[in-house]
Amino acid sequence: MVKSTSTRTTITEAAGAPRLGLRAAVDSWRLSLRAANRSPATIKTYLDAATRFESFVAERGMPASLEGIRREHVEAFLVSLQEAGSRPATVSLAYRCLQAFWKWAVSEDEVRESPMARMTPPIVPEEPPPILRPEQIKAILDACAGTDFEARRCRSRALRPLGLPGAPEASCQGGFSPMSLWRTKAQNRRRHMGGRGGRSAA
């Protein structure tokens, strides 16, 4: 029999004896992550998801041991995140963190198989970036006003990530006209809606 230094649980190999509880498992995983020299940010992300799952299970009277957790418990947790208004990317991140947790539990022989073994990751729909209004683009141009080399380079760097057609050329010419700003907004909207927002005719 092997006793843990934690006051929360006792780990034993005897037949029929209780196994590692979920809360103690999260504590053990923390130690394993630190020993593996994972970054503090990674450890925090992993443990936040695992701790929230442990709290969810405890609040709803679900099994507290690793062996008692089933696929439906994990799915119920993910659904609770969705119903609480979490973004799809946040739910997907929680899924990946729990997946890593159960992979660790399997590697430690705490469970024979992960309850997530046959689960599929939640879909994260593509979210197009917000379309800038003409006045917002004008504010960017005003912030990079000037005709010298540094000002032109500033405008080029600011406009290129926005996907504006002819951004480098426009930056060298000192900016867009109100009509070109409106045209750019319309083209971006068609592109995000799946249309053919090609370049405007010369």
- pLDDT band at 11; cut points 50, 70, 90: very low
8 Å CB contact between 102 and 29: no
Going 143 to 146 to 147 to 149, the CA torsion angle's sign is negative
Task: Give the pLDDT of residue 176.
Answer: 46
8 Å CB contact between 155 and 141: yes
Task: Give the pLDDT of residue 198.
Answer: 46
| Model confidence, pTM | 0.59
Q: What are the start and end residues of each CATH 1.10.150.130 domain in the chain? A: 1-126
8 Å CB contact between 98 and 74: yes
8 Å CB contact between 66 and 19: yes
Identity at 8, one-letter amino acid code:
R
pLDDT, tens only, 68-90 = 999 999 999 999 999 999 999 99
State the Cα–Cα distance between residues 138 and 126, nearest whole angstrom. 27
pLDDT, tens only, 153-201 = 776 776 666 555 444 444 334 444 444 555 555 565 665 565 544 444 4
Gyration radius of the chain over CA positions: 26
Which segment of 56-65, 95-104, 133-142 scores lowest on mean pLDDT? 133-142
177 class by beta-carbon count within 10 Å (0-12 exposed, 13-18 middle, 19+ buried): exposed
| Structural tokens at position 134 | 């003409």
pLDDT, tens only, 91-128 = 999 999 999 999 999 999 999 999 999 999 999 988 77
Phi/psi at 6 (nearest 5 deg)? -70, 145
Q: Which fold has domain 1-126?
A: DNA polymerase; domain 1 (1.10.150)
Task: Give the pLDDT of residue 1.
Answer: 38
Average pLDDT over residues 13-35: 79
8 Å CB contact between 73 and 63: yes
105 class by beta-carbon count within 10 Å (0-12 exposed, 13-18 middle, 19+ buried): buried
